[in-house]
Chains A and B, each alone.
Chain A
Amino acid sequence: MVEVKTAEELNKKFLREGMWPTIFCNGCGHGVVLEYTFWALEELGWDMDKTMFASGIGCSSRLPGYINADGLHTTHGRAIAFATGIKAADPDFNVIVFTGDGDCAGIGGNHFIHAARRNIDMTVIMINNFIYGMTGGQLAPTAPLGSIATTAPYGNIEHPFDICELAKALGANYVARWPVSHPYQPIKSIKEGLQKKGFSLLEFLAPCPTAYGRRNKLGDIKKHWAWYDDNTILIEDYDKIMKYGSVKEKEEVKDKMQIGVFQDIQKPGFFELYDQLMERLKVEENKKREGKK
C-alpha cells in the first residue's frame, strides 16, 4: 500500500476526481470535515471496500458522491434509517453517515433519536452550519438565538437544539463536538468514533459564509473562524468554571457552546445484543428438543 503523506496524495486516494469541481462555496467547512475524515480513515487503514457512506439532503449530503467508495444518497432526514438497513444487512460493513443540522436535527430528528437509543453501530458526522444552505438560508434548529436567516429576518427566537447533549442523554457510546477551526482534535475524535462499537456522533461546527455568514456579519471567513474561538469553550474548562469560578466568570461562559468529547462509554451495541439474543434462543430451542427425545 502506498503511504499517504500529503493532502494531495490523500485526495488522490479517497476522492472521485471525475466529480470535481464540488458544489461547495468559498470558505465552506464541508471540505474540511471531509479531509479530517479521510485522515482518520487513512490512519486507521480501513478497507474502503468494506466502508459505506449514507447521506440525506443538503450540502453535507453531497459528500458521499465525492468519495471513492460505495454511497447511498437518500431522502431528506432519512439517511440514518437507510444506514440502519445497510448495517442490518451486513454488520461487517463500516457505516458512516454524513448529515447536516437541518437533515439530522430538523426533519430527520426522530431517526437520529432512535438510532442513538438503540445504539446502532454507525458513525454519524453531523456538519452544523446553523442554516439550510442549499435552499437559500432558512433557519436551522441548531442556530444560536438572534441569528439572522431568511426565515428569521429579525433574529432567531427559537432555542437551539444541542444535539450532543441529546445524544449523550440517549446513551450513545461516543459523542464529540469540534469546530473545524481545530485541526487535530477532530481527526482524533473521528478515529475514536469510527473504532467505537455502537452509536457515535461527531458534530462539527462548520462555516457557511454564503447563507449564514453574510447575514450575520461573518461573511469574512476569518471572522467566522474567530467566532468559534470566542463562542466555544472546552467541556473541561466549562465544568471547572461552573464548579469553582466566580459569578462573573460563570456569567461569561454560560451561553458558550461546549466543545470536546461529551461521552465515551462502551455499552453493547444493538447488533451485539441481537446476536446474543439469537444464541440464547438457539440454546433454549435445542434444550426443548432434547427434552422431547
Chain B
Amino acid sequence: MNQVMIDTGNYIAAKAAVMCKPDVVAAYPITPQTTLVEGIANYQGKGEFKGEYICVESEHSAMAACIGASATGVRTFTGTSSHGLLLMHEMLHWAALARLPVVMCNINRVVGPGWNIWTDENDSISQRDTGWIQFYCSSNQEIFDTIIQAFKIGEHQKVSLPVMISYNAFILSHTSMPVYVPDQKEIDAFLPKRKPLWYLDPNNPITFGNIILPAEYEKVRFDMQKSQYYCKKLIPEISKEWKEKFGRFHGDLLEYYKCENVEYILLSMGAIGAESKVAIDNLRKQGLKIGLARVRTFRPFPQEEILKLSKNADLIIIDRNISPGMEGAVFSEIKASLYGKSDAKVYGYIAGLGGKDVTFGDIEKMCKKAIDGKTKHLEWYGLEGV
C-alpha cells in the first residue's frame, strides 16, 4: 500500500536510502546536504536503519569508507555537495575503477570562491570523467524513485559502477513536496540483496587495486565503457519495471514532454527541467510547436535519443553550468552527438549560475528568442552589468 510522505528533498532521499537497507553509510556534513545524512541518522535512532553509520573527518574519508565497505560486498550510501564532492574527486575515480556500486546523492551547489551555497551544476559536471553514472532529478518523487533504481542499476553484474544522483540545492533539497512511498516489502521485492561477482572474503582471498600493466589497464577502461553503454539499455528496462510495479515514470535517459509534432525541442536538466514544462505549456498555447526533452542521465549520455529528436526539430539547450573556455556541458555533448549526422540547428544558453532563479517566464523568453532566429550560437541569459 502506498503511503504519502510530505517532506523536503533531503529527507525524502534519506527515506529512500534507508528503504534500500544499506549496510554502511559514511558522511561528513556540508550545507545543503546536512539534513540528508541527519535524516539517515534519525532513522538509525528510531531503529529503522539497521546499518552502520560512520561520522568521518572529511568527504575524502567518507568516500574512502564507502569504498572499503563496498569492497567487502555490502551495500553503501553517502551524500555530499559542492566542495565536498570536489574533495572526494580522487576517491570517485577509485570507486568507479574498482567497480564498486556506491550510491551517492550530490546536492548541486555552487563551487567557490566566492562562497555561495545556492545551486548550479558545476560541482557534478566537473566529475564527468570519473566513470560514475550520473542522474539529475527534477522533483522529490523522482529523487525517491531514482535512488532505489540506482542501487539496482549500479549493482547489476554487467554494470558494477557507482551512481550519483544530483538534485538542486534548496530548490529541491529544502523544499517539501508530497511523495508516494511504497511498502518496504515491495521495495525488497524490487531490489534484492547485492550479489557481487567478487568481494573481499577471508575464505577466498583477492586483492583490489594491485599494480596493472598497460595492456591490461586499457582493457579495464574498455570494460568500464562497455558497462556505461550497457546502462543505456538497462536504465530504460529498470524504469519500465518500476512503472509496472509502482505506476510512476520519470523518463529513462530522457524524459519526453509534448515531443510529438514539434519543430523545436528544449533540453535542460534538474529543476530547470521541471520549470520548463510550464514554459512548454505556455508556448504551445501561443501556437509554437515546441516540446521538452529533460536530460536525466548525463553519464551515460543519451546520444542516440537526442540524435533521433534532431531529425525533426531544432534544439534549444539551457545549461546551469559552464566549462570555461568552451560552453555549457550539455550543449557540448549534444553537438558531439549530432556531429555529421544531423542538420538541426542548436542554440545554447547559460542560465541560473550561482543559484540565480530561472523561472518559466525566463525559459519562455529564451525559447522565443531562439525561435525568432535572434539567438547567437551561445548566449548567457540575464547576465547583468557586464
Contacts and interface: CB of A to CB of B under 8 A. Distances in A.
Do they bind each other?
yes
A141 B57 contact: yes
Contacts of A153: 41, 45
Contact of B41 (A57, A106, A150): A150
A266 interface: no
Given A107-B57, A109-B57, A153-B45, A135 B34 contact: yes
Contacts of B361: none
A150 B83 contact: no
A256 to B, nearest CB: 26
Given A75-B112, A150-B38, A132 B29 contact: yes
A132 B37 CA distance: 15
B55 A138 contact: yes
A139 interface: yes
B115 interface: yes
Contact of A135 (B29, B83, B112, B115): B29
A132 B38 CA distance: 14
B57 A151 contact: no
A77 interface: yes
B111 to A, nearest CB: 10
B117 to A, nearest CB: 10
B115 A107 contact: no
A151 B58 contact: no
A151 B57 CA distance: 12
Interface residues of A, number: 19
Contacts of B47: none
A73 B116 CA distance: 12
B113 to A, nearest CB: 7
B30 A73 contact: no
Give the interface centre of A73, A106, A141, A151 by most chain B CB atoms within 10 Å.
Answer: A151
Contacts of B58: 76-77, 106-107
A138 B56 CA distance: 11
B342 interface: no
A245 B57 CA distance: 39
B55 to A, nearest CB: 5
A77 B45 CA distance: 30
A74 to B, nearest CB: 8
A134 B31 contact: yes
Contacts of A136: 29, 34, 38
Contacts of B38: 136, 150
A107 B115 CA distance: 18
A77 B56 CA distance: 14
Interface string B233-277: 000000000000000000000000000000000000000000000
A132 B58 CA distance: 13
A109 B58 CA distance: 10
Interface in B17-75: 28-31, 34, 38, 41, 45, 55, 57-58
B57 A75 contact: no
Nearest to B44: A153
A197 B38 CA distance: 44
Nearest to A141: B57
A75 B29 CA distance: 14
B55 A73 contact: no
Contacts of A74: 113
Contacts of A141: 57
Contacts of A138: 29, 34, 55
Given A75-B83, A135-B34, 9 more contacts: A76-B30, A77-B58, A135-B31, A136-B38, A138-B29, A138-B34, A138-B55, A139-B55, A151-B55
Listed from nearest, the 6 A-B pairs whose CB atoms lie closest are A135-B29, A107-B58, A151-B55, A106-B57, A138-B29, A135-B34
Interface of B: 28-31, 34, 38, 41, 45, 55, 57-58, 83, 87, 112-113, 115
